[in-house]
Amino acid sequence: GNSVTQMEGPVTLSEEAFLTINCTYTATGYPSLFWYVQYPGEGLQLLLKATKADDKGSNKGFEATYRKETTSFHLEKGSVQVSDSAVYFCALSDQINFGNEKLTFGTGTRLTIIP
Amino acid sequence: DGGITQSPKYLFRKEGQNVTLSCEQNLNHDAMYWYRQDPGQGLRLIYYSQIVNDFQKGDIAEGYSVSREKKESFPLTVTSAQKNPTAFYLCASSPLPGQGAGELFFGEGSRLTVL
Write out chain B residues lying below 8 Å of A97, CB-based: none
Predicted local distance difference test score (pLDDT) of residue A97: 45
What is chain A's length?
115
CA distance to partner chain A, nearest, from residue B26 (Å): 17
Give the Cα separation of B93 and B34 in Å (integer): 9
**Torsion angle of C-alpha atoms B56, B62, B66, B71, degrees rounded to 10:** -30
Q: Which amino acid is at A82?
A: V
Q: Specify burial of residue B33 (Cβ count, 10 A radius: 0-12, 13-18, 19+).
A: buried
What is the greatest pairwise CA distance in chain B? Answer: 43
Calculate the average pLDDT of chain B. 90
Q: What is the pLDDT of residues A30-39, one digit of tens each?
A: 788 999 999 9
Distance CA A59, CA A88 (A): 14
* pLDDT tens figures, A63-107: 999 999 999 999 999 999 999 999 999 999 876 444 556 788 999
> What is residue A82's DSSP assignment?
G
Contact criterion met (CB below 8 Å) for A28 and A115: no
* CB proximity A25 to B under 8 Å: no
The whole-number pLDDT of residue A100 equals 56
